[in-house]
């Protein structure tokens, strides 16, 4: 994945063993630097020209929702911090570590998303545009299929963070998005993915979720608008042929509202702005 300034955005993905405890979520500078050197070596093995690019990483691990956010804020922060680092060699390796357990900028992992089975160490590759483009093409093509990290890298990450790592592999942010799409499909959230995908990959576009019995969502101008129906408006749209079984309808409406809250929570975890818009009977798309 390359952005407009020609950077490859990716991560070292650490799949943890079931029941694995996380001893640390950040590394000191020396440990972060050692891990970054191993990552740089691995990436050059997939795409030799990567050895001539600047690698920037942080000695910390995150949940997928912290990486998959509009504008790629974690990767953007890494790039911004690297721009202020001394030196100008394209082939340099820059690793940001913790000082007194504190990371620079906005790189501190969120406690709200700690404890998941997949933890991600983000990195950015940058340099001359043509080289970045070629390296990006190779990594996009190959990492999903054969992107396993080297044994030394996996062991170093496991020991440094105090994890029990079953698998360690490399992913671009596109690969990570595809993986998340599959996970959301298995979790019953497939209808929401096109909205989230638009926010991540096409923020200037417009996207609708307008498929009964799902909530009505509209992604537009970098926010998701969710139709908030009165009970009467909900019944007119979702249960027009229903009888007069009030308790059953009330339960269906409660489940619908829970689905709305679930969608809103997922979007907000990914850093997508959510706005609930009141809709009366007869109002649908026009209200959003």
User: Which stretch of DSSP H or E encloses residue 9?
Assistant: strand 7-16
Token pair, residue 117, equals 């089975």
Rounded distance between C-alpha atoms, residue 82 and residue 77, angstroms: 8
113 domain-assigned: yes
User: Mind listing the pLDDT tens digit for each residue in 129-139?
Assistant: 999 999 999 99
- Regarding whether 114 and 13 lie in a shared domain, the answer is yes
- Write out the residue range of the structural domain in which residue 233 sits: 190-287
Mean pLDDT, all residues of the chain: 91
User: Mind listing the pLDDT tens digit for each residue in 32-43?
Assistant: 999 999 999 999
1 domain-assigned: no
- Regarding whether 125 and 145 lie in a shared domain, the answer is yes
Q: What is the pLDDT of residue 269?
A: 96
User: Mind listing the pLDDT tens digit for each residue in 143-198?
Assistant: 999 999 999 999 999 999 999 999 999 999 999 999 999 999 999 999 999 999 99
- Regarding whether 152 and 207 lie in a shared domain, the answer is no
pTM of the model: 0.92
Q: How confident is the model at residue 6 (pLDDT cuts 50, 70, 90)?
A: confident
2 domain-assigned: no
Q: How confident is the model at residue 3 (pLDDT cuts 50, 70, 90)?
A: very low
Total count of domains within the chain: 2
- Assign 288 to helix, strand or coil: coil
């Amino acid at each position: 994945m390359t952005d407009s300034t020609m950077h490859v955005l990716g991560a070292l993905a650490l799949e943890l063993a079931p029941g694995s405890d996380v001893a640390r979520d950040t590394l000191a500078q020396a440990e972060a630097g050692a891990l970054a050197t191993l990552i740089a070596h691995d990436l050059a093995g997939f795409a030799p020209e990567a050895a001539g690019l600047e690698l920037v990483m942080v000695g910390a691990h995150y949940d997928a929702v912290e990486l998959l956010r509009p504008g790629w804020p974690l990767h953007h922060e890494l790039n911004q911090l690297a721009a202020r680092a001394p030196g100008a060699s394209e082939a340099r390796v820059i690793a940001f570590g913790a000082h007194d357990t504190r990371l620079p900028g906005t790189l501190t992992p969120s406690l709200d998303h700690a404890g998941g089975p997949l933890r991600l160490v983000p990195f950015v590759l940058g340099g001359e545009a043509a080289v970045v483009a070629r390296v990006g093409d190779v990594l996009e093509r190959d990492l999903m299929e054969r992107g396993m990290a080297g044994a030394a890298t996996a062991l170093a990450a496991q020991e440094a963070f105090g994890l029990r790592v079953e698998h360690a592999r490399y992913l671009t942010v596109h690969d990570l998005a595809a993986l998340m799409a599959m996970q959301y499909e298995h979790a019953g959230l497939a209808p929401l993915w096109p909205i989230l995908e638009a926010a991540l990959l096409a923020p200037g576009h417009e996207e609708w979720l307008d498929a009964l019995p799902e909530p009505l969502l509209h992604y537009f101008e970098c926010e998701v608008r969710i139709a908030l129906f009165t009970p009467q408006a909900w019944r007119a749209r979702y249960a027009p042929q229903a009888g007069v079984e009030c308790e059953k309808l009330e339960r269906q409406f409660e489940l619908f509202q829970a689905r709305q809250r679930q969608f809103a929570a997922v979007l907000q975890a990914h850093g997508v702005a959510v706005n609930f818009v009141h809709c009366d009977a007869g109002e649908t798309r026009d209200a959003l």
